[in-house]
Amino acid sequence: MLLAILVSNSAGNILLERFNGIPSEERLHWKTFMVKLGADNLKGARNEELFVASQKSVYIVYTVLGGVCIYIVGKDDYDELALTEVMFVITSSIKDACGKSPSERLFLDKYGKICLCLDEIVWQGILENTEKERIKRLIGLKPPNPTEI
């Protein structure tokens, strides 16, 4: 299960959060934990360099993409390598939606489109689509190219 996807700006303010299967009273704790993780490790990190951590039985993969930081939390089947795959899909779709690695402003400008991408990638904690080209078409309600099947 993909427990959470979180996007923050470089100052640690949350821009987007999607939780699955985490009770609402625990969400603040998770957000604080991840923002701290980012503050401790992401300073000076290269664009899209992946970081990994584990906390009890969950895994966290996080990265910096332009002006935003992205965190993904998973457990069980979604271990560090599966999360890496998910992260790759998310970062490439966001770049696609924004035309490049987004600044915070650009991310917010394309917020609606990014929400649609995330909706195609993850559905209630389960990975659904992994191809950025396909996702690009799906968010415009266009069928995927027959060649990419």
Partner 1 sequence: MAQPLVKKDDDRDDEADYSPFLGIEKGAVLQEARVFNDPQLDPRRCSQVITKLLYLLNQGETFTKVEATEVFFAVTKLFQSKDIGLRRMVYVMIKELSPSADEVIIVTSSLMKDMTSKTDMYRANAIRVLCRITDGTLLTQIERYLKQAIVDKNPVVASAALVSGIHLLQTNPEIVKRWSNEVQEAVQSRAALVQFHALALLHQIRQNDRLAVNKLVSSLTKGSVRSPLAQCLLIRYTSQVIRESANTQAGDRPFYDFLEGCLRHKAEMVIFEAARAITELNGVTTRELTPAITVLQLFLSSSKPVLRFAAVRTLNKVAMTHPMAVTNCNIDMESLISDQNRSIATLAITTLLKTGNESSVDRLMKQITNFMSDIADEFKIVVVEAIRSLCLKFPLKHRSLMNFLSNILREEGGFDYKKAIVDSIVILIRDIPEAKETGLLHLCEFIEDCEFTYLSTQILHFLGIEGPKTSDPSKYIRYIYNRVHLENATVRAAAVSTLAKFGAMVDTLKPRIFVLLRRCLFDNDDEVRDRATLYLNTLGGDGAVVQTGEDVKEFLFGSLDIPLVNLENSLKNYEPSEESFDIYSVPREVKTQPLAEKKAPGKKPTGLGAPPAGPPSTVDAYEKLLFSIPEFANFGKLFKSSAPVELTEAETEYAVNVVKHIFDGHVVFQYNCTNTIPEQLLENVTVIVDASEAEEFAEVASKPLKSLPYDSPGQTFVAFEKPEGTPAIGKFSNMLRFIVKEVDPSTGEAEDDGVEDEYQLEELEVVAADYILKVGVSNFRNAWENMGADCERIDEYGLGPRESLAEAVNAVIDLLGMQPCEGTEVVPNNSRSHTCLLSGVYIGNVKVLVRLQFGLDGPKDVAMKLAVRSEDESVSDAIHEIVASG
Binding site for partner 1 (CB under 8 A): 9-11, 13-18, 27-28, 31, 41, 49-54, 61, 67, 77, 79-85, 103-106, 108-109, 111-112, 115-116, 119, 123-124, 126-130, 134, 138-144, 149
Cβ-based nearer residue to partner 1, 3 or 61 = 61
**What is the rounded CA–CA span in Å between residue 141 and residue 119?**
13
Give least dist CB 80 to partner 1, A.
Answer: 5
Length of the chain: 149
Considering the complex, state which of residue 75 and residue 109 has its C-beta at the smaller distance from partner 1. Answer: 109
Distance CA 86, CA 132 (A): 11
Distance, CA of 78 to CA of 65 (rounded, Å): 21
Nearer residue to partner 1 within complex by CB, 39 or 84: 84
Quote the least distance from Cβ 118 to partner 1, whole Å. Answer: 9
Task: Report the nearest approach of partner 1 to the CB of residue 117 (Å).
Answer: 11
| Three-class secondary structure of residue 25 per DSSP | helix
Q: Which residue blocks in the chain are alpha helix, DSSP H?
A: 24-41, 80-98, 104-109, 111-121, 132-139
| Least separation in angstroms between CB 90 and partner 1 | 14
Min CB(108)–partner 1 separation in Å: 5
What does the DSSP 8-state code read for residue 128?
-
- Return the structure tokens found at 49: 């360099």
Q: Which residue number, 10 or 75, has a Cβ lying nearer to partner 1? A: 10
